[in-house]
Amino acid sequence: MAKTYGPLIWLQLGSTPVVIVSSADAAREIMKTHDIIFSNRPFTSVLDRIFYGSKDVVFSPYGEHWRMMKSICVLHLLSSKQGGFGKDIWVSAHGTPDCKGHNTFFVGNYFPSFTWMDRLSGLLREADEIFKESDDLFEGVIEEHVNKKDFGIKGHDLVDILLEIQKDKSTGFELERYMIKAIILVTFI
């Protein structure tokens, strides 16, 4: 399509405008002059349900909350040796890792007046069930770390770091429990 229409293509997907950039030079220019506009992710009802009201570092709108979450992830988590954490959580909950996944088209994200179709098809209920299952799993993981001595857990991992940050009031940012779960979820995925 880029050969026919050029490096920038504008599409209207329902009520959502989409710009497709197929050239590195065009992408560089856009990010240089309009980076804040393009740094936000589009709002979707399903991601908002699953990712704690879009309060994680991936789907949170650009702003102070996003900057603080990014800072926590970059300074405390990505600089640490936390590899394998997501796999450990999955194995403790389900046995062996399973990478099954599928993409689902949610009509309401592109045609808001047709959100009822997502409800009727059961997709929103399924998203709520996925959220509940993962929230329960992460709540259990956090509780195990809060009560490490009772569970015989040794070592220092991502959850321990997040709980330490939560206790540290010097940052001026209150890391709430659901935010800890959101970071764990993003790290897990």
Q: List pLDDT tens digits, range 14-71.
A: 887 888 889 999 888 888 888 777 767 777 888 888 889 988 888 888 888 888 888 8
Range of the domain at 159: 44-188
- Do 15 and 61 sit in the same domain of this protein? no
Q: How does pLDDT run across 143-179, given as a tens digit for each residue?
A: 988 988 777 777 788 888 899 989 987 778 889 999 9
Classify residue 12 by its DSSP letter: E
- Do 64 and 12 sit in the same domain of this protein? no
Domain count, the chain: 2
- Do 16 and 68 sit in the same domain of this protein? no
Contacts of 31 (CB under 8 A, 6+ apart): 38
Looking at the whole model, is its pTM more than 0.75? no
pLDDT the model gives residue 86: 47
- Do 141 and 172 sit in the same domain of this protein? yes
Distances (CA, A) of 18 to 7, 11, 15, 94: 14, 5, 10, 38
Would you place residue 95 in the very low, low, confident or very high pLDDT band (cuts 50, 70, 90)? very low
- Do 8 and 76 sit in the same domain of this protein? no
- Do 31 and 51 sit in the same domain of this protein? no
